Amino acid sequence: MYVSFRIPTLLLGLLVTAAPVRAQAAPEDGGASDASTAEMLFASIEWQDGPDTAHVGAESKVVVPENCRFTGAPGARTFMVVTENPPSGNELGVLLCQSSEEGEPWFVVFSFDDSGYVRDDDAGELDADAILKTLQEGNRQGNAERRSRGWGTTTLTGWVRAPYYEPRTNNLTWATNLRDDASSEITVNHSVRLLGRGGVMHADLVIDPSQLTATMPEFDRIVSTHQFVSGRRYSEWREGDKLAAYGVTALVAGGAGAIAAKSGLLAKFAKFIWVGVLGALAWLRSLFSGRKQEREDAQ
């Protein structure tokens, strides 16, 4: 789960660091203790600029559009720490984008659960009300963990879109509203679960609600470019492969629903630091400015 995400001003310029550096290991306590530590960690993230194709761990590939940049597993875990989220260890990448020069940035977190092949026999039995109650309980228990770290809490207020399963692509999709308890700001978490032979790829979009409608076509295009590598596709499951201990319904509740709720993992992404308007994502803004200049020069 996510909530609104604001990167402090001191970190904004670091998105345009000229010389990429190898991402540092995230602190074991899962938190950046002060602004200088957060700045150092954020500066260490290595980004892959679009347009390009990025490897999402050893599992899959995804197209990085020209208005986006991607960081792999080490950078993703560092990103979690900087934004006050205890890394789960399953993060394989973060895609950071901006749809227009004037628009707010948004991002997608990719993580993989190697739980095994998830049967979709129960896809027609998705009970949105029951699933929402499980998610909200996980949110409450996750807040206890957040308070113990000195972080702010969040409230899952309801569905933006109830869960639905697409058998053609073997994708499960839903969206929720989360409210920051301190600021009352709302952020949309749009979640897609892509079923593979050995587990499930999570693609979680975090975005301001006002931009959801305009951004969804671009996000959908990105998801459509995601491909499991040969041998790891859902259709390639063979008898004897590992089977997940749960079905599609439990995926919405974080996998092994009750276990995830008890551990607080359902709220592991519950607090992000939203990028401010002024000076935010200078690299992405410069792309749009550069394209505009190119068009003018071509005329």
The winner for highest mean pLDDT among 129-133, 223-227, 243-247, 269-273 is 223-227
Give the distance from CA 95 to its chain's centroid: 8
Paired sense of beta strands 48-49 and 68-72, if any: antiparallel
**What are 21-51's pLDDT values in tens digits?**
223 344 444 455 466 777 788 778 899 999 9
The pTM is what? 0.76
Question: pLDDT above 90 covers what percent of the chain?
Answer: 35
Residue 56 near residue 96 (C-beta atoms within 8 A): no
Q: What is the pLDDT of residue 285?
A: 54
Q: What percent of the chain has pLDDT over 70?
A: 71
**Residues 186-213 pLDDT 10s:** 888 888 999 999 999 999 888 888 888 9
Name the average pLDDT for the chain. 75
What residues contact 139, with CB distance under 8 A and at least 6 apart?
A: 1, 154, 155, 156, 178, 266, 267, 270
Q: What is the pLDDT of residue 11?
A: 36
DSSP 8-state assignment for residue 276: P
> Average pLDDT in the 210-234 region?
95
In the predicted model, what is the mean pLDDT of residues 109-115? Answer: 92
- Which is nearest to 226 in space by CA: 58, 60, 48, 57? 60
Q: How confident is the model at residue 295 (pLDDT cuts 50, 70, 90)?
A: low
CB within 8 Å of 224: residues ≥ 6 apart: none
Average pLDDT over residues 158-169: 93
Please check the confidence at residue 125 and state whether its pLDDT lies above 90: no
Q: Where are the domains of the chain?
A: 9-298
The side-by-side arrangement of strands in the sheet containing 68-72 is 48-49, 68-72, 91-98, 105-113, 200-207, 186-195, 171-180, 154-166
Cross-strand partners of 173: 164, 192
Strands of the chain, DSSP E: 48-49, 52-56, 60-64, 68-72, 91-98, 105-113, 154-166, 171-180, 186-195, 200-207, 227-228
Residue 202: strand pairing partners? 111, 193
Side chain identity, residue 74: P
The helices-and-strands tally (H runs, E runs) of the chain is 8, 11
pLDDT at residue 149 above 70? yes
- Please give the Cα distance from 261 to 277 (Å, whole number): 35
Mean pLDDT of 95-122: 87
Please return the burial class of 152, using the count of CB atoms within 10 Å of its CB with bins 0-12, 13-18 and 19+: middle
Q: Please tell me the distance from the alpha carbon of residue 263 to that of residue 145, in angstroms, as a whole number.
A: 9
The answer to whether 273 touches 207, Cβ cutoff 8 Å, is: no
62-100 pLDDT, tens digit each: 999 999 999 999 999 988 777 666 677 889 999 988 887
- Whether the Cβ atoms of residue 218 and residue 68 lie closer than 8 Å to each other: no
Q: Is the pLDDT of residue 162 over 90?
A: yes
Query: Average of pLDDT values for 262-290?
Result: 38
Identify the pLDDT of residue 297: 63
pLDDT band at residue 281 using 50, 70 and 90 as cut-offs: very low
